[in-house]
Amino acid sequence: MIRVQNVTGGYDNQFLIQNICFEVNKGELLGVIGPNGSGKTTLLKMLSGVHKVAAGDIFIKGKSLESFRPKELAKVIAVLSQHSEDHFSYSVKETVSLGRYAHQKGWFQALTDKDEQIVAEAMELTGISRYADEQLQHLSGGERQRVFLAQALAQEPEILLLDEPTNHLDLSFQKDLLDLLQALTKKQGLTVISIFHDLNLAGLYCNRLLLMDGGKLLKDDVPYGVLREEVISSVYEAEIKKQPHPYVPAPQLVLLSEGMQGESSSGKIGAEQLTIEKSQFSLQSSFYLKTISSGVSGSGMGWHRSFVNWQTNESPIKCSAEMDDYLKAKGFKAGETVGMISAGKPEDVSYALFEGEGFSVFTVVIADVSIEHGINTWIFINGMFSDEVYIQSIITATEAKVKALEQFQELNMKNECILIAGTQQGETLTSAARISPLGKLISQGIYECTTNAMMKSLKRINGGFC
């Protein structure tokens, strides 16, 4: 659909865009990303024919861009530019109708029935029908953005060029606009090239991304190939971390600010923060810990600072709906709490701190072999470590737990939950495999605490005999 061949150009004979080559296929949603001043808008202006190239060629549907007459080009390419300004007090419908200009025979032609229908459809698609008779200048920035998008769609282009289309739009309209563009590319074969500043939106919606830097095309690849920590951190000169989107295979990048956890948030997790009460035991941290857990609430990966084990004879599945109410009633905030359930008596919880060189592990285990047959395991690691180490910690802890349970021939636990919580401060720990320093402490802590917790639970039901 579009072929850009060795394109070079810029302003006042200064060549900003340097020898750029890429192709865009029909129905693609191509994102253009790059820091401020990297040449994205200039490239888009070249593609729309507004800015002449100094060298190289641009082909649209196999034909040189230069050979298109303006009206002919407007039937193929529509542009939604970054700062659409309204010098005239047109109504919304009149503004959208201007998109039909390229399809009209002469100047100031009345709209045909077909034009009217296309304008109405474009307004409907962009959700602006109710503003049809409003003056453009009375609309908000986001509403105007949608009017100009409707105008571009009314042009019935085969190629749509957009410069930061989500500018001024709130979250819900950003989603609506990008969902619409995605649907138009898939269902109608519209080809879209859009500049994005929001890299996560670009990664989520685009088939392919072009990364520009200093007028050069640095990357032309699928989002996973472009949105890489080392690439984006270096081009944008900002510390970035990548994480997976929770539902779709799109990379999501998060910005790291300096001193995120701050001085006041440093600390160590141990028995001082553990409180044992009649219906629960809980651990309250003054700062957030990075967690992975299979808790009734706060499960998966996250950041939490309250950890609660509620003693109830009900099963975790039955109680999941009530967990939030319980936490709220007890003064815990659901969003920052990992909550678990156990029939084990809180006073039977077994816990211990194990010190390593520059790090420590605090393990907490509650077991119940009277009612539900369950065991909950908490592991707090005072150290800095990666997601891989979280996974290794679960493996190592599970191996130690099974070994401890073998002593009691009690391997058929019905309910088992685990929490690994890291302070992400201090010493960097590279492994939690069984033979690593961290793995050894986890194994020791879980083996000892599980053994103690089991003995306490058995003692309770056997009236003092294990």
Ligand X SMILES: Nc1ncnc2c1ncn2[C@@H]1O[C@H](COP(=O)(O)OP(=O)(O)OP(=O)(O)O)[C@@H](O)[C@H]1O
The residues binding ligand X (CB under 6 A) are 11, 16, 34, 36-42
Alpha carbon distance 150, 97 (integer Å) = 9
**Choice between 45 and 456, CB closer to ligand X:** 45
Query: Concatenated DSSP letters for 356-414?
Result: -SS-EEEEEEEEE-SSS-EEEEEEEEESEE-HHHHHHHHHHHHHHHHHHHHTTT----S
Residues 6+ apart with CB under 8 A from 172: none
Cβ atoms < 10 Å from Cβ of 17? 27
The minimum distance between CB 416 and ligand X, in angstroms, equals 51
Alpha carbon distance 20, 22 (integer Å) = 7
| CA geometry: angle 362, 364, 369, nearest 5 deg | 160
**Choice between 216 and 434, CB closer to ligand X:** 216
Alpha carbon distance 98, 76 (integer Å) = 15
**Choice between 148 and 288, CB closer to ligand X:** 148
**Choice between 123 and 210, CB closer to ligand X:** 210
The minimum distance between CB 264 and ligand X, in angstroms, equals 37
**Choice between 16 and 458, CB closer to ligand X:** 16
**Choice between 16 and 352, CB closer to ligand X:** 16
**Choice between 226 and 418, CB closer to ligand X:** 226
The minimum distance between CB 41 and ligand X, in angstroms, equals 3
The minimum distance between CB 90 and ligand X, in angstroms, equals 26
97 with 111: CB under 8 angstroms? yes
20 with 6: CB under 8 angstroms? yes
**Choice between 42 and 376, CB closer to ligand X:** 42
Please, what is the angle between helix 171-188 and helix 141-154, to 10°?
10
**Choice between 36 and 264, CB closer to ligand X:** 36
- Looking at 87-214, which runs of residues are DSSP E strands? 159-163, 191-195, 208-213
Question: With the C-alpha atoms ordered 453, 454, 457, 460, is the resulting torsion angle positive or negative?
Answer: negative
60 with 83: CB under 8 angstroms? no
Structure tokens of 232?
């984006």
The minimum distance between CB 8 and ligand X, in angstroms, equals 14
The minimum distance between CB 397 and ligand X, in angstroms, equals 48
The minimum distance between CB 214 and ligand X, in angstroms, equals 9
Alpha carbon distance 9, 455 (integer Å) = 78
300 with 244: CB under 8 angstroms? no
The minimum distance between CB 35 and ligand X, in angstroms, equals 7
Question: 14: helix, coil or strand?
Answer: strand
Alpha carbon distance 293, 303 (integer Å) = 11
The minimum distance between CB 395 and ligand X, in angstroms, equals 45
The minimum distance between CB 157 and ligand X, in angstroms, equals 21
Question: With the C-alpha atoms ordered 59, 61, 67, 68, is the resulting torsion angle positive or negative?
Answer: negative
**Choice between 5 and 41, CB closer to ligand X:** 41
